[in-house]
Chains A and B, each alone.
Chain A
Amino acid sequence: MKFPDFDYACPASLDEALQLLEAHGEDALILAGGQSLMPVLAFRLAAPRILVDIKKLPGLDSVATNGEGFRLGANVRWCDILANGELRAAHPLLVEAIGHVAHYQIRNRGTVGGSLAYADPAAEMPGIAVTCDAEIVVASRTGERIVKAADFFLGALSTRLAPGEIITELRLPAWPAKRRWAFQEFARRRGDFALAGTAVFFDLNGEGLAVDAHVGVIGASDRPHRLAGAEAAITGSRVDADAISAAAAAASQEVEPMEDFHAPAAYRRSLVGTLVARALTDAMAD
């Protein structure tokens, strides 16, 4: 399982990288950590003429936090997120979810931008991006555009990223300190892609009722998405046992699960309900 033949370029600026991408069109693939791309190449499922390694692009490896939210450069690695103590306090859902990504060695190489671009339906980063209403900043020769995460993922391994475009940043909205949240995923072994997973958060208003409820799901369908019915079931509630079971039932009902040899659709449907219930219970625990 040796890689097919290709060239390699490691441009030092965004302009240079974009020029390379433009010049090579669909023959170019972006190397952004490579922890998903390299297996694809090893199985010869892709045959690029050139890999454009974006690791040297300046400014893409920083995590910035301000009152408006969080900016994760595309080259920020999982280990950077996990080692960032401030982030752990400021956006605990993100850090908790990223702790579930693959294995130790992978987390030292895999990047935010790489994961968003690869768009595995079970991947944690796209799931958090969608659940949190994040925006994805995309650069091309014609400038920069911002795509809502909710619109970015089209299906399994399919996104709105066009040839010649590079993801430069993920923008996550601000995270109130008292927000209730939880992340749950179910994988057969530690580090495996989850059969399903869920990220949930909501705020409790002065009366103890849930507002701004977000329930996202990964692994169950062909892309990460939010579960409107489950969100509605807890919105305005005290997120008590009744609300939680209503949300779980809604989640099971509205999800459109995939079926493969790992699990039938009915199983994933049930699993999503179970995980949503557990996540909401976790979120309410002190």
Chain B
Amino acid sequence: MTLRNLLIGSPIERVEDLRLVRGRGRFVADINFEDQLHAVILRSPIAHGRIRAVDPTDALAMPGVCAVITARDLGAEVPLIPLRLQPLPELQPFRQPMLAYDKVRFVGEPLAVIVAESPQLAEDALEGVRVDIEALPAVIGRDAAEAGDTVLFEAHGSNRAIRWTAVRGDADAAFRRADYTRRETFRVQRHAALFMEPRGFVARWDDETEKLTVWGAAKVAFANRRILAAAMGLSEEQIEMIEVDVGGGFGSRGEFYPEDFLIPFAACLLRCPVKWIEDRREHLSTANHARETECDVEIAATSDGRILGLRGRAWTDNGAYLRTNGSVAPRNVAQFMSGPYDIENIHLTTDHLTTNKTPTGTYRGPGRFEGDFVRERLIDLMAKDLGIDRVEIRRRNLVPEAKMPFPLATITPFESATELDSGDNHALLERCLTDFGWDQKSELNGKLIDGRYHGIAVGCFIEGGGAGPSENARIVLETDGSFSVHIGSAAVGQGIETIMAQIAGDALQVPMNRIRVAHGSTNDVTEGFGSYHSRSTVMGGSAIVLAAEKLKHSIREAAAMVLRCGAEEVNWDGDRVGGPGDMTVTLADLCTEPIEAEATYRNSEFTYAYGSLAAHVAVDVETGEVEVVEVASIKDVGRMINPLTLKGQAVGSIVQGLGGALLEHLIYDEDGQLLTGTLADYMVPGADCFPNIRATVVELKPSPLNPLGAKGGGEGEIIPIGGVIANAVAAALADYSIEPFDLPLTPPRLWALIGEVQRVL
């Protein structure tokens, strides 16, 4: 099938913006009911302990307090949050209960829900609940987790939940025949997505219809409805999940958290709408953290710089529980460490460790940011050791187009094999170098200019997208001749209403103003998988293309009846349908009843966007401060739906990545208290931090896997940032032979590295 290409590929201004720039968006905190009550969550003040008592007596006597829900109120067995992805049997013991009942395992873990007449009164009542917890030693960090003197889950007996193994070829054999090997230890710090709109829910139970409505769904509304129905003992049909405007997700928002259950539970218990809006303090200590990883990895190569193998171990600190998608990053660290490089022999393991910190989940480029940091650093180290140019060594090792599809390492358990679908890595590297001005800037490398050392680096990456299994779209030709497009994909701020309307407009050959995209409710389509793994455009968009074909077929059949001709004779210009003669009829006149078609797009293979990113930094050796002078990136997404929004994703992704490389760090003390619990202490990039970012997105090699030819593009540029920035810093500080192995590259950390060298010199 071919699409007329009018809307797809055009930098169309977003339809969402018309309300959002006027402050007329409708976010979950904006939903109100006259008779609503307000919930707050009482959270554990200590990291690890045995619960002796949670006594709400005093709180219940406080003004405006309607209820205090503790674990005891949840029935004989407190429901657990299931694993949405990789639900292996061995991971089941680590699931988080909706309310802590026997032990608390991290600071911020929910102990009770207080429902009151206002959020102020509910918060006042927090001090009225008496909590008695017998403190246990907190397990903080890899050493304590591995030592196992204290374990979080006594029945399991170890703090290691699982070991992932990624294998390709024969790594040990490759290392035996290698001319060159180097082994180093790398650390990536705990940081988080930190979307700007706090989470929240408004839940309402309707006694008459016996239905539960939940506002505040995001990302994976259908999966969460399934989880909620099971936990509540309701059927899925009794629950409608409504997604209103969503203030950012980046992988973290929309996963099933305890509040996803607790707020609807309170609404059903009290027969009253209940509203809960997360505050920033609880966001920082309870929404999924990410990225904390240590890697001991070794690279093997020939003397002319051909990489023969990667082997080693990784340890991920996944906090106290295994949440819905908590195993994605640990798995990805191992499976995707080779990135876009042609590495025949791989043996990498990841030990998934539990500690008394906030549980982890996915954050844009999960596991890939971490793995790329390790790999890109090792490649630069290898280039230096072998005396080969850093660009040339990448040219020698990138997967050539002729080798696509190219299999990556296979991961076990929950076996999954995947292959790079298409792409020209070399072309993008060259283009990136040209755009960046690599040759001219190379002269700056290691130079001291106005008190700062300058350095540049380049790295290459892949971005997996288009995760299956399927996505649904339903398109309705309304009786006024307009089209309603219903999709299971979710909006998390990425402009899905615009993008899907562009795809539908081209598929139906109608202008965008005739199309309304609805994605807000689990009632819209029969099933949906949502927005993660850069899948919305690929999966939802492809489903729209299929549904449009089906709908056009139905419309032709309806028109054939009116026009008294065969369906195959009906012409369609988007506005009117015509028969063999002169007779035409408008779409509005054609149907007295809406005509609709639903289609499912299935995909079992991932798409891979790929690209290169270069950075120029200047390092002040007196303060250790790194200034990011410039970043330039390029990425091929196969096919662009909207260049405007895609570039926006790329630039935003780069700046988020720079936050992870240089600023953001969730720091715990040895007792498991989060020290960076405010936005003043957890530092995300501000408008002044990184003013020079250039991102380019191109259409070079369409994906062979879907009708659009599109590859997911929502994450990409964040993936290589850590490695590229660290390599640029190393290049800048070549005189000092500084090789950073730990992120983030904070001024005190770099200053300390420089100081060590100066003491030796």
Direct contact of A and B (CB under 8 A): yes
**Chain B, Cβ-Cβ closest to A43:** B281
Q: Are B279 and A1 in contact (CB under 8 A)?
A: yes
Q: Are B747 and A267 in contact (CB under 8 A)?
A: yes
Q: Are A188 and B663 in contact (CB under 8 A)?
A: yes
Q: Are B124 and A4 in contact (CB under 8 A)?
A: yes
**B755: which A residues are within 8 A, CB to CB?**
270
Q: Are A189 and B663 in contact (CB under 8 A)?
A: yes
Q: Are A191 and B686 in contact (CB under 8 A)?
A: yes
Stretch at the interface among B93-101, B414-422, B537-545, B675-683: B675-683
B667 within 8 A of A: yes
B427 within 8 A of A: no
A286 within 8 A of B: no
CA gap between A101 and B120 in the complex, in Å: 31
Q: Are A193 and B622 in contact (CB under 8 A)?
A: no
Contact of B680 among A190, A192, A271 (CB under 8 A): A192
A157 within 8 A of B: no
**Chain A, Cβ-Cβ closest to B127:** A44
**Chain B, Cβ-Cβ closest to A275:** B623
CA gap between A4 and B683 in the complex, in Å: 27
**B687: which A residues are within 8 A, CB to CB?**
190
A7 within 8 A of B: no
CA gap between A43 and B281 in the complex, in Å: 8
CA gap between A271 and B747 in the complex, in Å: 10
A3 within 8 A of B: yes
A263 within 8 A of B: yes
Q: Are A1 and B124 in contact (CB under 8 A)?
A: no
| Size of the chain A interface, CB-CB below 8 angstroms | 25
B27 within 8 A of A: no
B751 within 8 A of A: yes
Residues of B725-761 at the interface with A, using a CB-CB cut-off of 8 Å, are 746-748, 751-752, 755
CA gap between A264 and B624 in the complex, in Å: 13
A186 within 8 A of B: yes
**B709: which A residues are within 8 A, CB to CB?**
none
A45 CB to closest chain B CB (Å) equals 11
Indicate with 1 or 0, residue by residue over A1-35, a CB within 8 angstroms of chain B CB atoms: 11111000000000000000000000000000000
Residue with the highest number of chain B CB atoms closer than 10 Å, among A195, A261, A266: A261
**B752: which A residues are within 8 A, CB to CB?**
264, 266-267
Indicate with 1 or 0, residue by residue over B652-683, a CB within 8 angstroms of chain A CB atoms: 00000000000100010100000110101101
Q: Are A2 and B119 in contact (CB under 8 A)?
A: yes
Q: Are A263 and B748 in contact (CB under 8 A)?
A: yes
Q: Are B622 and A2 in contact (CB under 8 A)?
A: no
B52 CB to closest chain A CB (Å) equals 25
**Chain B, Cβ-Cβ closest to A271:** B623
A197 CB to closest chain B CB (Å) equals 12
Q: Are A189 and B281 in contact (CB under 8 A)?
A: no
Q: Are A189 and B683 in contact (CB under 8 A)?
A: yes
Q: Are B622 and A1 in contact (CB under 8 A)?
A: no
Instruction: Tell whether A5 pairs with B120 under 8 Å between CB atoms, given A193-B680, A264-B748.
Output: yes
Q: Are B688 and A190 in contact (CB under 8 A)?
A: yes
**A262: which B residues are within 8 A, CB to CB?**
681, 748
**B625: which A residues are within 8 A, CB to CB?**
186
Instruction: Tell whether A261 pairs with B663 under 8 Å between CB atoms, given A1-B281, A4-B124, A43-B281.
Output: no
Residues of A161-217 at the interface with B, using a CB-CB cut-off of 8 Å, are 186, 188-193, 195
CA gap between A184 and B119 in the complex, in Å: 43
Instruction: Tell whether A188 pairs with B680 under 8 Å between CB atoms, given A1-B281, A271-B623.
Output: no
CA gap between A195 and B683 in the complex, in Å: 14
A220 CB to closest chain B CB (Å) equals 13
Q: Are B680 and A270 in contact (CB under 8 A)?
A: no
**B124: which A residues are within 8 A, CB to CB?**
4-5
A274 within 8 A of B: yes
**Chain B, Cβ-Cβ closest to A102:** B680
**A267: which B residues are within 8 A, CB to CB?**
624, 747-748, 751-752
B142 within 8 A of A: no
B236 within 8 A of A: no
B530 CB to closest chain A CB (Å) equals 30
Q: Are A261 and B667 in contact (CB under 8 A)?
A: yes
**Chain A, Cβ-Cβ closest to B625:** A186
Residues of A228-286 at the interface with B, using a CB-CB cut-off of 8 Å, are 261-264, 266-267, 270-271, 274
**A190: which B residues are within 8 A, CB to CB?**
686-689
CA gap between A165 and B685 in the complex, in Å: 40
B286 CB to closest chain A CB (Å) equals 14
B549 within 8 A of A: no
**B431: which A residues are within 8 A, CB to CB?**
none
**Chain A, Cβ-Cβ closest to B198:** A1
**A266: which B residues are within 8 A, CB to CB?**
752
**Chain B, Cβ-Cβ closest to A270:** B751
**A2: which B residues are within 8 A, CB to CB?**
119-120, 123
Instruction: Tell whether A3 pairs with B120 under 8 Å between CB atoms, given A188-B683, A189-B663.
Output: yes
Residues of B614-645 at the interface with A, using a CB-CB cut-off of 8 Å, are 622-625
Residue with the highest number of chain A CB atoms closer than 10 Å, among B280, B678, B746, B748: B748
Q: Are A189 and B689 in contact (CB under 8 A)?
A: yes
B323 CB to closest chain A CB (Å) equals 24
A185 CB to closest chain B CB (Å) equals 11
**Chain A, Cβ-Cβ closest to B685:** A189
CA gap between A104 and B625 in the complex, in Å: 24
Residues of B574-591 at the interface with A, using a CB-CB cut-off of 8 Å, are none
Indicate with 1 or 0, residue by residue over B499-534, a CB within 8 angstroms of chain A CB atoms: 000000000000000000000000000000000000
CA gap between A191 and B689 in the complex, in Å: 11
CA gap between A195 and B680 in the complex, in Å: 13
Instruction: Tell whether A261 pairs with B747 under 8 Å between CB atoms, given A1-B281, A2-B123.
Output: no
CA gap between A2 and B748 in the complex, in Å: 35
**B279: which A residues are within 8 A, CB to CB?**
1
**A191: which B residues are within 8 A, CB to CB?**
686
**Chain B, Cβ-Cβ closest to A260:** B675
B319 CB to closest chain A CB (Å) equals 19
Q: Are A261 and B675 in contact (CB under 8 A)?
A: yes
**Chain B, Cβ-Cβ closest to A189:** B686
**B680: which A residues are within 8 A, CB to CB?**
192-193
Instruction: Tell whether A261 pairs with B676 under 8 Å between CB atoms, given A2-B120, A188-B747.
Output: yes
CA gap between A236 and B168 in the complex, in Å: 72
**A188: which B residues are within 8 A, CB to CB?**
663, 683, 746-747
Q: Are A192 and B676 in contact (CB under 8 A)?
A: no
A49 CB to closest chain B CB (Å) equals 14
**Chain A, Cβ-Cβ closest to B669:** A261
Indicate with 1 or 0, residue by residue over B680-713, a CB within 8 angstroms of chain A CB atoms: 1101011111000000000000000000000000
A179 CB to closest chain B CB (Å) equals 26
**B281: which A residues are within 8 A, CB to CB?**
1, 43
CA gap between A232 and B280 in the complex, in Å: 47
B668 CB to closest chain A CB (Å) equals 9
CA gap between A59 and B51 in the complex, in Å: 57
CA gap between A261 and B677 in the complex, in Å: 12
**Chain B, Cβ-Cβ closest to A196:** B623
CB-based closest 5 A-B pairs = A190-B688, A267-B748, A1-B279, A2-B120, A274-B622
- A-binding residues in B (CB < 8 A): 119-120, 123-124, 279-281, 622-625, 663, 667, 669, 675-676, 678, 680-681, 683, 685-689, 746-748, 751-752, 755
Given contact pairs A1-B281, A39-B678, A264-B748, a sample of 8 additional A-B residue pairs in the complex whose CB atoms are under 8 Å apart = A188-B747, A189-B663, A189-B683, A262-B748, A264-B752, A267-B747, A267-B751, A274-B623
**30 examples of A-B residue contacts, CB within 8 angstroms:** A1-B123, A1-B280, A2-B123, A3-B120, A5-B120, A186-B747, A188-B747, A189-B663, A189-B685, A189-B686, A189-B689, A191-B686, A193-B680, A195-B747, A261-B669, A261-B675, A261-B676, A261-B681, A262-B681, A263-B747, A264-B748, A264-B752, A267-B747, A267-B748, A267-B751, A267-B752, A270-B755, A271-B623, A274-B622, A274-B623
- B-binding residues in A (CB < 8 A): 1-5, 39, 43-44, 186, 188-193, 195, 261-264, 266-267, 270-271, 274
